[in-house]
Amino acid sequence: MLDQPATPIRFERLLLTGVAGNLGRELRPRLKAYCRTLRLSHRAPFGEAGPGEEIVIADLADADAMLGLLEGVDAVVHMGGVSTEQPWERILPSNIVGMVNLYEAARRQRVPRIVFASSNHVTGFYRQDQVVSPKDPVRPDGFYGLSKAFGENLAQLYWDRHGIETVSLRIGSSFAAPKDRRMLATWMSFDDTERLIVAALTAPVVGHSIIYGFSDNRTRFWDNTPAAHIGYRPKDSADVFRAEVEARQPVLDRHDPAVIYQGGAFVKQGPGA
């Protein structure tokens, strides 16, 4: 967790969705430092509220519940929804219908900015020997990546039509440590994840911006130059784990799609797999 400045960035009320997910649980204590009240949401009960917190149980697929969830909110950090490759029937209500409900509620409640957890799987079918920027066409690696591409397009629509700002975070691999050699490029530390979200919440003007979420890794698949206005400056690196990871995975199968493509194992899951 980052050392907080003497006068921390303050919001009256921030909303964090998907708080019971892996990244949501990590962000919960971190985001509290930047607001007077942190509203926490998930579709099922997940415990009691702590000091400065309030809990609202809401299903993304329930439009009325989402309208109530966004009442009185200054900004949203949207980590909710399906976060892995799943059958379309599971992705549709949360990642498609739920996104429309979220943005309609934001419009009606006049919420000015959303930080949306998109995914690197929006461009997962680029090869690992390519470097991709947010300006390049999407190449989803499954239904999950496709749903996140929809979310980015929805964010663009609500910026163009309604003036709701969004930073779409194409998150790489946010874990305590990289698990394999692919993650030497895609890994983002929890501290850098916090830095990225705070930058996305506080950059003066973002419109709809797309930025890849990864640490200052020597190996990289992504070029964030078009998103320099966000002001994200990673300070950690997967390279401190490089020797350990390479020893654990000394040989790569160059014919394995998970080695060929940036999406890793996701390219072998989902439709037609």
pLDDT at site 256: 96
Q: Are 194 and 202 in contact (CB under 8 A)?
A: no
Q: Which residues pair with 261 in a beta bridge?
A: 127
Task: Give the Cα separation of 194 and 128 in Å (integer).
Answer: 26
DSSP state of 42: E
At CA 19, angle to CA 7 and CA 228, rounded to 5? 55
pLDDT for res 9: 75
Which residue in 143, 133, 146 sits closest to 209, CA to CA? 133
126 is catalytic: no
Q: Is the dihedral of CA 176, 9, 155, 66 positive or negative?
A: positive
pLDDT tens digits for range 10-42? 899 999 999 999 999 999 999 999 999 999 999
Q: Is the dihedral of CA 93, 98, 99, 101 positive or negative?
A: positive
* Contacts with 266 (C-beta within 8 Å, 6 or more apart), sequence order: 85, 121, 124, 141, 142, 144, 145
Catalytic residue from among 34, 103, 126, 144: 144
Question: Helices (DSSP H) in 60-165: which residue ranges?
Answer: 63-69, 88-91, 98-109, 143-162
Position 59 scores a pLDDT of 96
Q: Which residues of the chain have pLDDT under 70?
A: 3-8, 272-273
Helix (H, G, I), strand (E, B) or coil at 151: helix
* Per-residue pLDDT, 167: 98
CATH number of 11-268: 3.40.50.720
> Phi and psi (nearest 5°) for 27?
-80, -25
pTM metric for this prediction: 0.95
Separation CA 265–CA 271 (nearest Å): 13
Q: What is the pLDDT of residue 1?
A: 80
Give the pLDDT confidence score for residue 138 in this predicted structure.
98
